[in-house]
Structure 1
């Protein structure tokens, strides 16, 4: 049942405007994967997206793994997507001084727990833990059953009748030591100090401005090590909720870097960009290199479409958004789809599954055609 194919109608709402798309997906796909396939990311949004079905609403910021099955969607249903502009808990801008990485809170919690454990009535005392044997309290006549003459044991303290502690040396003799609180461990019983844990890299507080494709802004504050990748830091402060066509822009001190594309900087760190503690950076969606194309779906009766997409969009994804899958029933085994620019070469989906619009050299205003691949005729012997 989870592999069931669904054909759904999707209405996309974008600030007073709406349009309908058709899409095919699997029942166990997430609603956000389906939304992306029908153009959800073209919608204006600040905090993610809203999915509605049968009078119920879910937000991508809160239900990241929601499937169509869990939402009660059935074949042929109508669903809706819209941009989410309402902040959720923890998403509101915060003053710089009030933001912390949570370490101080955890430290206070552990201190409180430690004092409660140490002074509580139910805290276990040394020598009375379940399963321990022979460790008595002062004045007890119980013997220490753990003291043996094993050659593997080093120096070990034993209790003497006079109340002093004796130290058993490797040759089996005892060396008396004072039982006062000021006694010092002799050279025979020196215990190496435990290695100290390496200190964590300090985190910087960085002000962030997030800009969507309609130039609306919101600000927040994030914390991260300066060795963090700028795109990982961007995701932590909500960069991935910006509407975008094919990536993100990071701007600092008048310089801009792209997350993908021909001049991509996927491994750029905050330190490499020159960012320092307390400074301001900007993240925005990347909307450059958009092409507007006239499309023909070569069916039994050809259909005309008009679409726009990033030049880095997959040719076949672009075709699906415009109805390419409606030709699916005509595909023969081992074949797929073809894409052709008017007057240009033919590209086959089986041979070029990762083909982008940019790779075909299409330009805004071009006519292109999608069709079902026709198998070559067998060679005559």
Structure 2
């Protein structure tokens, strides 16, 4: 089943490992590092291997296998200054940031990087990060209402003068930002991403964001979300793009890839995974319709803490390329990839998987032209 709009070429992003512990909560070897020198080299490798975006994740204190963390906005700027083409997305939490302050930082980062800075608005799943800092912990839908206001304030400050905003969470009075980001008709102000799976997240994505990030999903799960998301966008007379999380295990044979997945799960850090599960599953279960992130995740799903295994980008380059193109047919605009050994696996992906994706896309494009679609 396809949705109403199919992108010409799917884009690729990778999770920045700026948090210790890698992208799986497992005692398996992960040849990766959260330090800056490793990540600087990785960012350059990624942009040379067809990746257009990188997402700097954020945790503010130790939790569930992530003992150390670099802050996302400063780390993103450092990566932007070390690269030439890569767009870096910084994850931020409303409630811990004042949107006008972030707008000022974002405009500066936009100028310093020649327009490559972006923001992912994360409404928050980790209660302790708020309560330990003395900030109120809101109920699920209230957190997303606050994020909706946060997205609106950022957009207005980046595009308008003398901004007034009177919301339930943020009040802005006659505020003008100068300099503004490097806006142009071809490249609007810093791209805004909204993360989530819930109904409230989809409303925000459709009404206010440029991109919507989903946890890992199978084909049916992706189609259901995209149709709902684009309904909200149409109602607001907008268009929004869709990004899908997936943990990528590309190997020369399917057996090698499946054996790697089995080893990751067999060596899972069970106390850390169970602790994470108890912290996050309230996020989905606290929504009225039980559609939130992690609401139906199994133990195995949560070993990759954004359900990346569920996207099933696991196998040979040919198998993974075909699956990515199937997601593209359903309306996925971007794949956000996690890897076990980032440096060498991003190189392998760029050499062996991405060219196959482009070949399949080109063949489909030619077929559509022949039938006049």
Q: TM-score range by the shorter chain?
A: under 0.3
- Flag the structure with larger Rg: 1
Higher helix fraction: Structure 1 or Structure 2? 2
User: TM-score of the superposition, structure 2-length normalised?
Assistant: 0.26
User: TM-score of the superposition, structure 1-length normalised?
Assistant: 0.25
Higher strand fraction: Structure 1 or Structure 2? 1
